[in-house]
Each structure stands twice: as C-alpha cells, then as structure tokens.
C-alpha cells in the first residue's frame, strides 16, 4: 500500500476547499496552487501551503501541466487531486503524474482516454450489454453524411462533440432545415472548447430525464454503486438541481440501471470515483449517456444520503486500499438530499454571467444544511472562471421536508453585491410541477416558467426601497454633529417631505418620507405607509411598516443591494441624483459588451459589409461564449477592440453604419 502524506490540489474554489477538509480529517498536508485572481481566496488561506502560478487565464494556470507538476515537485507532494473540471479528465495529465512519480487521485489514464471519446465510450458500452442511444459515430464527418443519418434515425436528433462535455458543442436539430447551421455552430464551438471538432449524432428524446449513478472501483477488482442522482432540471444542458433518490425511479428500473452502471465500471476495470449517466425516456426505457471519470460537482448529494465521505474514499483507493465497503447491500441510503448551484448570473438577461464584489455573504447554520462555498465577504468574482459561487445542499427525512428546508435556506442565505440566480432558484421551488417531481430536461423550453418569473420580477419592489431610505436616514442621523437635536432631513417647511429617487431596472421610483412623532409617514406611487425603525446596525435594519415587522440586509453605496430576511430576492438599485445629470450620449450603430469578458475572436474587419444576423465577434466570460450579431444590414465603420482584449460590460465594441 502507498501512503499519501501530502496532496497538491490542482483546482480552485469550493472543490479545493472540500479536498482540503478531507486532508485535514485524514492528517494529510494540503498544497494549494493559485492564479493572480485567486491570491486572496479562501482555499489559499485554508491550505497548509500555497504556490503562486502567475497569470489568470486557465491555460496559464490551472490547465498548465508544467506549472502544476513543478509546484507538486517543489512542495514534495505525494499525490495530486484534480477535483473536477480543468485537468480532472485529462488522460495525458494522469499519465504525466505517474511518470513523475506522483499519485493521481482518480481513475487510470486509459479509462479517462476511453471515456473521453463519446463514440469510443458508446462502442465499449454496447460490447458490455449497456443500452446505448441509437445514433451515428462514424469517421465520415461530412454534413451530407450527418444529414443522411439524421433522416435514418428520425428527427429530432442531437449533435454532440465527440470530445465534449458541459453542454459545449451540442445542438438539438428538430428538422432538416436546421441541420446545416446547427452542424457548423456545433463544430465551431467544439473546436474552440476542446481543440477537436469531431461530431457524433444521437436520437434526441424530448422529454427525457437525466439520471446518474455514482460508482466506485478499487485496484482489487471491486466495483459498487452508491445509488442514483436525479439531474433532469437543466438549462442549456447545465444542471440546476440535483436530488436523490429520484422522485420517479421505480425499484425495478433502478435495479436495471444500477446493474448497467456496474457493467460500465467493470468494462473499464474502473478504479476510484466516477459517474455513469443515463437518460430515462417517457416510456421507461433508459440509455447510456457517458461516464464522467472524476468526482462530480453534485457528489455532496450522495454523501448526504449515504453518510460516506467520497473524497476520503478517493484518497484511500489511490493509496491502494480496498474499498471501505465492498458488499453492494451494505451501502447505506437514508432520507432525501437536494443540491442547488448558486451562480453569479442574471436570470433576467438570459443567465449571462455577472461579476462583482461580494459585499455580504452569510450562511445558515442549521441541522441538515451544508454549504460548499468559494467566497467570503469582500471577495471578487472575476471573469476568468466558472460563475458558481456556492452549492447549497440540504438533507431531510423525505422529499417534501427537504424541499421545504431548501426554500427556507434560500431565503436565509445572504449573497449581496452582485447579481445571482438565488431568487430564481427559490421561485423554482415554488412551482407545483417541480415540487411534485414532474419535470424533464426540456422543462424551460416547453413551459413559460422563466417568462413568468421575469414578468413578476420586472415590477419595482417598493418595500425594500422604503427600508433603504430609512436605513440611509438612520445612518445620516447617527453621524450628525451640528444641531443634533433636530432629526436628519428636517425642513423648516413642515409640509414638504424629504425624498430619495432610485433606479430599479427600467423603473424610476421616488420614496417620499416625513419624520413625525410616531416615526415616518411615507408615500410611494400614491400609496401611503406608516413606518418606524426598531433597530439597525452597519448592514441591516428592522422596521415596522404599517402592521408588519420586517428585517432587511443592506450592502453597497450609490448602488445598493437590499434583501428581506426569509426571501431570496435581492433588490439592486441605484440612488439617483436629485438634480438630473446630463444623459450619456448613445452612439448610433454602436455595439456594446453585454457582459464583462474576453474577446475570443473578431470576425469582421473595418469596411466589411454585413447582413442582419451575421456574427461580428465572440466574447467569452466564465467559460460561456456569447456571439455578438448584427441587428441590421450595414457596413463596419469602426472596431474598438482586438482579440484577447478584456472588456467590461457596456464597453463599446464596434460601430455599424446601417444601410
């Protein structure tokens, strides 16, 4: 048996912190590596040692073989844990670790390589009696061949990058007229993301569910599963919610799928942690999707229902130990677990990534609640990496109790200072079909859940603005040094109220307030309120508004973030000047960046004629690509950016003179 005394963590954020905790539990020295942007991150502070990589781009830092291996050698690390993403499923890196005499905490390189090719994986599973989706995975990569195969399989079909993952290089094709554009876009995205534009084709099941099984194997021939995870609630092929057990899986189908998962593990002679993913169709048939040869983002769901530490298991297996449990019937399963991913993204603007500073981060401390977070108050969320801020995980005796607890936790968690999907997540938990488990991978495509949410959120929130005005009044009142016996905002014209004007999205709201003996008289949009301040501190205020007592958390200055306790909704608002400022001139024909990020490619040149819908440039932020297209026919007059430029949201990119 090999003894692991120190582990270099070739990752960042919440998964790095998770691995550090396992190291501390086992008495293993942990070594972090970090980019310039992560120099002050929590995982760097918590590790026993830390090595700067220099730079920020993933290719210069967490994906750089040489830097990672040099850091491991410099710190005399016994092993490397890749976490997930970055180098976790890179067979060449696993081989390089072994050749350097460093233990790679993960599966064998040949398993990674076999499963890294979706077409090869599919062939291997077919040979071991694992049901696979009907499709095409041949060497002929011509558009004509894909069109012919799609006709044979029957629409709709799914184009997938052979080397893909994470939803990249995937396009649903519902009819023949869509094939050419989908084929070209999928190949381009795959080439940019993976350096390989090879594609495969599969039958697409429109209302399928995504169910996966956690597997584990060791070097002694043992292979087991640790039950299923339901991951069907997705947008753009990215998981939003994971839960276990599945709300729809019958005992007989679970047994069949679990058997197929074990067959997949044995086909690979699999060692360490992995996940076998399946789709479950409306008629109860299931098919193999892929094997993720790493620890999954959603592994805490399995840990919560089994009580097992999967990272500890990974380390023990990497040392050459036998699996802690080898008898399938001895794997525990108790209660219900749910996980949500809190992202820095704008649910009102197509889930575009957001950046900013976390001005207030506060977690709920209660039984059965677990956070896997990457941030603390004061941290910056940058454009360089994935926008996930934290994973929220709850456990309860049954599904209804777990969902109730998660709704409560979403309301109690404070994340202020940047735009997140927190309120959208709480909204999802209020939807009847999700509460009942009646959903599938295309729920957002086939329902108006997102549209209804956006319509509800577009209305300005009045009460948080009242709380903010009272909070600001109280701050001014406490700082007064002159005429201290007069309240803040006192006027010699008693009948004229004080006011604050706020911009909330597209809405401008004026809060009028007047100090009276009993507190405040307030009017907003012809609605009248009576209010009093019960207590306040640096970032919160407790008020009575008419008959209701409410507590609000507030962060920011100029631009404020206001959140009512028990609700996930954060109202972002800008305090407007009392006298209007000159309006910023809008450049006719100008195209601005919809989000902060890096210019990946400029597709046009000055003087080019362009047509409506034509791609102009590609911008990436937090691993998401966004193509800027022309709104009308015209000519390129000016281009203000270059490839590899870093831009902020609102930066002028180029100008078109319309025909």
**What SS3 state is found at 601?**
strand
Query: Token digits for 162?
Result: 């052979």
Interatomic CA distance for residues 249 and 333, integer angstroms: 15
Query: Shortest CA distance to 63 belongs to which of 39, 44, 101, 35?
Result: 35
- 8 Å CB contact between 256 and 249: no
Would the CA dihedral through 543, 549, 553, 554 be positive or negative?
negative
For the question of residue 294 being annotated catalytic, the response is yes
- 8 Å CB contact between 295 and 84: yes
Interatomic CA distance for residues 180 and 162, integer angstroms: 18
Query: Shortest CA distance to 6 belongs to which of 19, 14, 274, 17?
Result: 19
> For the stretch 156-181, what's the b/e string if a residue is b when 16 or more beta carbons lie within 10 angstroms of its beta carbon?
ebbbbbbbbbebbbbbbbeeeebbee
- 8 Å CB contact between 375 and 418: no
At residue 354, what are phi and psi to the nearest 5 degrees? -125, 155
Q: Which of 12, 29, 294, 472 is catalytic?
A: 294
Distances (CA, A) of 402 to 126, 341, 532: 38, 16, 36
The 170-173 sheet, strands edge to edge: 135-136, 199-203, 157-161, 170-173
At residue 346, what are phi and psi to the nearest 5 degrees? -105, 105
Distances (CA, A) of 586 to 536, 582, 583, 652, 655: 41, 12, 9, 10, 12
DSSP line for 535-564: EEETTEEEEEETTEEEEEEEEEESEEEEEE
Interatomic CA distance for residues 505 and 507, integer angstroms: 6
Indicate which residues carry an active-site annotation. Answer: 294
């Amino acid at each position: 048996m090999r003894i692991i005394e120190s582990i270099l963590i070739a990752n960042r954020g919440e998964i790095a912190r998770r691995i550090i905790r396992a190291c501390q539990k086992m008495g293993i020295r942990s070594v972090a590596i970090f980019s310039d942007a992560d120099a002050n991150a929590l995982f760097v502070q918590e590790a026993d040692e830390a090595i700067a990589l220099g730079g920020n781009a993933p290719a210069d830092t967490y994906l750089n073989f040489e830097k990672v291996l040099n850091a491991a050698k410099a710190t005399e690390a016994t092993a490397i844990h890749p976490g997930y993403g970055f180098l976790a499923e890179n067979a060449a890196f696993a081989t390089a670790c072994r050749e350097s005499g460093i233990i790679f905490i993960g599966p064998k390189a040949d398993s990674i390589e076999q499963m890294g090719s979706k077409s090869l994986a599919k062939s291997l599973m077919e040979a071991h009696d694992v049901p696979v989706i009907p499709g095409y995975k041949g060497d002929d990569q011509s558009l004509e061949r894909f069109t012919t195969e799609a006709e044979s399989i029957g629409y709709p079909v799914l184009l997938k990058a052979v080397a893909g993952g994470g939803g990249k290089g995937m396009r649903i094709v519902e009819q023949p007229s869509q094939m050419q554009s989908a084929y070209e876009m999928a190949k381009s995205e795959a080439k940019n993301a993976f350096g390989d534009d090879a594609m495969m084709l599969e039958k697409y099941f429109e209302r399928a569910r995504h169910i996966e099984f956690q597997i584990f194997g060791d070097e002694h021939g043992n292979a087991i599963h640790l039950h299923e995870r339901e991951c069907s609630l997705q947008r753009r092929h990215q998981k939003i919610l994971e839960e276990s057990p599945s709300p729809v899986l019958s005992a007989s189908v679970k047994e069949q799928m679990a058997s197929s998962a074990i067959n997949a593990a044995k086909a690979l002679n699999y060692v360490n942690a992995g996940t076998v993913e399946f789709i479950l169709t409306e008629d109860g048939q299931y098919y193999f999707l892929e094997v993720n040869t790493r620890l999954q983002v959603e592994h805490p769901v399995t840990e919560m229902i089994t009580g097992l530490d999967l990272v500890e298991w990974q380390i023990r297996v990497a040392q050459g130990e036998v699996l802690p449990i080898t008898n399938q019937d001895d794997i525990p399963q108790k209660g219900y677990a749910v996980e949500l991913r809190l992202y820095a993204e704008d649910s009102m603007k197509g889930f575009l990534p957001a950046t900013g500073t976390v001005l207030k981060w506060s977690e709920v401390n209660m039984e059965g609640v677990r956070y896997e977070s990457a941030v603390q108050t004061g941290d910056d969320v940058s454009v360089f990496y994935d926008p996930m801020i934290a994973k929220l995980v709850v456990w309860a005796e049954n599904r209804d109790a777990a969902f109730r607890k998660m709704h409560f936790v979403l309301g109690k968690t404070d994340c202020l200072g940047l735009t997140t999907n927190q309120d959208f997540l709480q909204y999802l938990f209020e939807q009847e079909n999700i509460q009942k488990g009646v959903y599938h991978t295309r729920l957002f495509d086939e329902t108006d859940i997102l549209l209804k949410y956006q319509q509800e959120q577009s209305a300005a929130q009045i009460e948080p603005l009242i709380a903010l005005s009272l909070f600001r009044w109280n701050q001014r009142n406490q700082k007064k040094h002159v005429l201290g016996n007069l309240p803040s905002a006192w006027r010699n014209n008693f009948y004229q109220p004080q006011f604050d004007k706020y911009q909330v999205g597209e809405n401008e709201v004026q809060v009028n307030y007047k100090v009276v003996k009993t507190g405040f008289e307030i009017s907003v949009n012809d609605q009248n309120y009576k209010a009093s301040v019960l207590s306040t501190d640096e970032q919160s205020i407790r008020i009575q508004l008419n008959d209701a007592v409410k507590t609000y958390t507030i962060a920011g200055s100029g631009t404020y973030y206001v959140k009512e306790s028990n609700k996930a909704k954060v109202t972002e608002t800008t305090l407007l000047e009392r006298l209007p400022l000159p309006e910023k001139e809008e450049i006719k024909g100008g195209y601005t960046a919809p989000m902060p990020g890096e210019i990946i490619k400029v597709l046009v040149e000055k003087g080019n004629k362009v047509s409506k819908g034509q791609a102009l440039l590609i911008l990436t932020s937090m691993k998401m690509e966004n193509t800027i297209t022309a709104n009308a026919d015209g000519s390129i007059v000016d281009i203000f950016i270059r490839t590899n430029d870093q831009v902020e949201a609102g930066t002028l990119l180029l100008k078109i003179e319309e025909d």
